A and B are shown apart, each in its own frame.
Chain A
Amino acid sequence: MSRRVGVIRFPGTNCEFDTVDAINELGGEAKVLWHGDSDLGDIDAIVIPGGFAHGDYLRCGAIARFSPIMDAVSTFARNGGSVLGICNGFQVLTEAGLLPGALQKNAGLKFLCRMEQIQFASTANVVGLGASTGDLLNIPINHFEGNYVCAKETLKQLEEENRIVFRYTDNPNGSIGDIAGISNKRGNVVGMMPHPERATSMLLGSNDGSSLLQSLLSTERAPSTNEHVVSTHDERI
């Protein structure tokens, strides 16, 4: 069981403590890691939480990949370590080349903060343990740039490789293919716009996020390979 979770904090991150609390409530041991450190310490999984890393200057998530800790995150991911990017964390993962595509402004041109229903499209990833394809979850979104976009060939590849993790049942933001979350090929890196850490108690309107974080805590590390799964730049094209 992966109990020790590093939650990365960049300047401008604002969901790190919600994430830490949610993980600790589930029996994990979460700690905040500063972006300027280059060492992850002894951890079993990483969450890149929501917020506005580096002020979202230039583009959402664009500067974060230059933070010293991101080299360690890339190496950790390449070695099969579990990495979950939530909201701005998803944007950071795409800009860092760990996941393909990009997040553009919502099609309705409005900031959206509300509960959304999403559906598991693939469970072959670090948040899918114990879930079944087709499972419905209520998890809130909180974003302006959550409209996932990628090249047609990339979309085809995501579909063929079973890498679309979640789809919205009622697309709120214009995302291509109703995509709410994707994974890398091995399934150990997942990015999603909805916030599972904000759906961990019925007091918050839903506890459907708990099972995703519980899966992250329970997933064994994917076997290390020499396969070049992490490109520095090409993934986003």
Chain B
Amino acid sequence: MRFEVKIEVLPREGIANPEGSTIERTLPALGFETAGDVRVGKVIRLHVEADSADAARAIVEDMCDRFLSNPVIEDAIVEVLTA
């Protein structure tokens, strides 16, 4: 089966995120005074062939661990979207 998978790669807590902090500092200029904890990462979408959603997730988590994210500085959140 073919699964669509979304991967969010975000800097881990404590890791500098200049894009996020710049946006956070800028939002009040437009009156958005209540926003905080802005973090900018990246989204990777891909299709994967697997026997089940769990198998698809396992494949993509392996990809994240070995290539798509760097566990020293990033967290990867894997979401299997559709079968």
Contact surface of A with B, Cβ cutoff 8 Å: 58-59, 62, 95, 101-102, 104-107, 109, 147, 149-151, 174, 233, 236-237
Interface size class of B (residues with CB under 8 A): 10 to 19
Interface residue B21 (Cβ < 8 Å from any Cβ of A): yes
A-B residue pair count with CB separations less than 8 angstroms: 37
Chain B, Cβ-Cβ closest to A100? B72
Those 4 A-B pairs whose CB atoms lie nearest each other, nearest first: A109-B18, A102-B72, A105-B16, A102-B73
**B residues adjacent to A (C-beta < 8 A):** 11, 15-18, 21-22, 66-68, 70-74
Give the distance to chain A from B38, nearest Cβ to Cβ, in Å: 13
CB distance from A90 to the nearest CB of B (A): 14
**Which residue of A58, A109, A150, A174 is within 8 Å of B72 (Cβ)?**
A150
A233-B66 in contact (CB<8A): yes
B70 touches A59 (CB 8 A): yes
Q: In the complex, A237→B11 CA distance in Å? A: 15
From known contacts A102-B73, A109-B21, infer whether A147 and B16 are also in contact, taking CB-CB under 8 Å: yes
Residues of A within 8 A of B74 (CB): 59
Extra pairs beyond A104-B16, A109-B21 (17, CB < 8 Å): A58-B67, A59-B70, A62-B67, A101-B72, A104-B11, A105-B17, A105-B18, A107-B16, A109-B16, A147-B16, A149-B72, A149-B73, A150-B72, A151-B72, A174-B16, A233-B66, A236-B70
